[in-house]
Amino acid sequence: MSTKFLRKYPIIDYIAITFGAAIMAAGIGVFLIDARVVPGGVSGLAMAIHYLTGNKIPVGAMIWVLNIPLYLWGLKELGKSFGLRTFWGFSFSSFFIDFFRGDIPGFRYLRLQDSPTVKDLYQNDFFFMILIGAVLIGIGLGIIFKFKGTTAGSDILAAIMQKRFGFKPGQSIMFIDFFVIAFAGFVIDIMHLSPERPALVLTFYAIFLLFVSSRLIDIIIEGFDYARAAYIISDKFDEIAVAITDTLGRGATAIKTRGVYRNVEREMLMTVVSLREITILVEVIREVDPKAFVIIYNVHEVLGEGFRKRI
């Protein structure tokens, strides 16, 4: 499906975000909540509160409640970048979690977590059960990010921390997720919620879940490639360079060029971004100069600040 078609019919984005939210919600609601394995972020914090209240507060509803102040804060700090798609994403993911678990009035008969298949996995193949949850979360979030949506939560906190304190988004998200996982493990331990498995074992499962889902998100967004480099030719190269620095926290290199067709000298920008950032980069360029000429290509390896060494 072409990018032009998606821009012409943005409803496709919302359908895809809804589909991704349903897949992600299945991973959390069906496979992880009763297993006491926390995915991190606002979802993990909502699960910890769910356990603390004796399972009385539905996880999906708690996720939605926790995300509302973060969403409003994000709108204030970051503007329209956290707009309708973000609200749509976290609202539908919250809804589907409670829907699949039968916590929504009129659908209490569903309770997919009580199906014979899930029960058998819980008793006889716990590792595979957690792996399924991780895969569903990764695929669901990957689809949501691919179509320019988010599920709010730690994404908003990371963006605000980058703007205010200069922290890299990846580091911020990792710190938040590890804090939430540790907190949930503490709650599970002090309340003796998992007599079959020690809380530390469940914490290790949660870290494994975090790794698998994050890798799948990258694969869903842009395949198996490592990063993207972009050459940007525009009369508004100064504005684009500022936008790249402010929005993505990435640098850019200006290269003096001369256009043969118009015989005009100007600077061409070259920048390298991660897979998750490529769609944001395109949107940033389009907002500043819809007529900009952009070449994007695969990068095998990047050595330098802001990129991990490829293994």
The domain of 293 spans 227-299
Q: Are strands 293-299 and 264-274 parallel, antiparallel or unpaired?
A: unpaired
Backbone angles phi, psi at 298, to 5 degrees: -70, 150
Cβ–Cβ < 8 Å for 89, 144: yes
Q: Note the pLDDT of residue 58.
A: 95
Q: Round to whole Å and give the CA distance between 275 and 230.
A: 12
Domain membership of residue 200 (yes or no) is: yes
> Which residue from 59, 40, 200, 36 is spatially nearest to 122, judged by alpha carbons?
36
Least confident of 119-128, 149-158, 250-259: 149-158
Has residue 49 got a pLDDT over 80? yes
Q: Is residue 304 part of a domain?
A: no
Residues 295 and 179 placed together within one structural domain of the fold:
no
- Of the candidates 148, 162, 166, the one whose C-alpha atom is nearest the C-alpha of residue 280 is 148
CA dist list (Å): 304 to 206, 238, 244, 309: 30, 23, 17, 8
- For residue 274, is it left (φ>0), alpha (ψ between -120 and 50) or beta? beta
Same domain? 189 vs 239: no
C-alpha to C-alpha distance for 21 and 93, rounded to whole angstroms? 4
Cα–Cα distance for residue pair 155/246, rounded to 1 Å? 16
> Are residues 290 and 153 part of one domain?
no
Instruction: Name which of 154, 182, 179 is nearest 169 in CA terms.
Output: 154
Q: How confident is the model at residue 270 (pLDDT cuts 50, 70, 90)?
A: very high
Residue 125: inside a domain, yes or no?
yes
| Residues 286, 149 share a domain | no
Same-domain pairing of 146 and 247? no
**pLDDT band at 100; cut points 50, 70, 90:** very high
**Residues 290, 294, 296: CA angle, nearest 5 degrees:** 135
On whether both 55 and 186 belong to a single domain, the answer is: yes
State yes or no: pLDDT of 298 exceeds 60. yes
pLDDT at 275 over 60: yes
Q: Do residues 217 and 135 share a domain?
A: yes
Residue 283 lies in a domain: yes
Q: What percent of the chain has pLDDT over 90?
A: 38
Q: What is the pTM of this model?
A: 0.71
Cα–Cα distance for residue pair 134/197, rounded to 1 Å: 19
Q: Which of 177-181, 210-214, 251-255, 272-276 has the lowest mean pLDDT?
A: 272-276
Backbone dihedral angles phi then psi of residue 108, each to the nearest 5 degrees? -70, -15
| Amino acid of residue 86 | T
% of the chain surpassing 70 pLDDT: 87
310 within domain boundaries: no
Q: How many CB atoms lie within 10 A of CB 75?
A: 16
Report d(CA 45, CA 126) in Å as an integer. 22
**DSSP 8-class letter at 310:** P
135 and 282 share a domain? no
Burial zone of 6 (CB within 10 Å; 0-12 exposed, 13-18 middle, 19+ buried): middle
Instruction: Identify whether residues 246 and 162 lie together within a single domain.
Output: no
